[in-house]
Amino acid sequence: MRPIGVFDSGIGGLTVVKALRDLLPEEEIFYIGDTARLPYGTKSASTVERYSFEIADMLLAENAKIIVVACNTASAIALPLLQEKLSIPVVGVIQPGAAAAASATKNGHVGVIGTRATIESCAYETALRAIDKNLRIIARACPLLVPLIEEGWLRDDVTDRAIARYLAPLVDSGIDTLVLGCTHYPLLRDAFSQFLGSEVNLVDSAQNCARAVTQLLEEKQIATTDTTQTARLTVALTDKPDAFLDIARESLQLELGEVLVRDPAERPRHR
């Protein structure tokens, strides 16, 4: 019963935990949200790498058998080095999301939205073109959406107007598929769908990441063999919880129990 380790810069990665819970209720999960140092999207690449290794060390100290980088920024910047240096499998959210988008598009025109750091990294474009070099890709940073989500404005005119302003150029360009390139964004799925209508496919990187984890557990033969009960979910943050945790708990319908507070500086290195 070694846990699946999951981390994000904050609480948005709980969308990945929810997807993992739905697919793998028998797997123990240990989630760490680096709430003391969010957002990662405005940090330098070297800082994102350092933070990612520090949180990974915390998950290794919890005896994680696999680490899921439930953060698009960390996946874009730190994932290759994590995969190289760590002794256990590491999965990000970008490759599964890109693969799903490439499969979903019918006209070969894909939109990507995310934080500035994720969009500026061109990680989704690189992953998509590695699958199909003929895809047309339009990407746009949407920096206001995460603060609006964390404010709890999931169904609000201000949020709807921000979505319309960000997404209108992508729709006008002719996309038929949109990648939600931030783990916060699935909380706005209804608002996105209302603006986009049924003509544009929404690709949720959280759900596709969970499918990739399921496949990797089977390939590495490290899936739990006890499928008779729902396993434990442990949530730890690097700063005290705020109101967004309640928003995420209610929106995702996750039973979180007591939330731990952990300091990355106090963790030993386990690589």
> Could you list the active site residues?
71, 182
For residue 59, which of 93, 89, 19 has the smallest C-alpha distance? 89
Neighbour tally for 160: CB within 10 Å: 16
Cβ atoms 27, 232 nearer than 8 A? no
176 backbone dihedrals φ, ψ, rounded to 5°: -120, 0
37 backbone dihedrals φ, ψ, rounded to 5°: -125, 15
Buried b (16+ CB within 10 A) or exposed e, 193-229: eeebeeebbbbbbbbbbbebbbebbeeeeebbeeeee
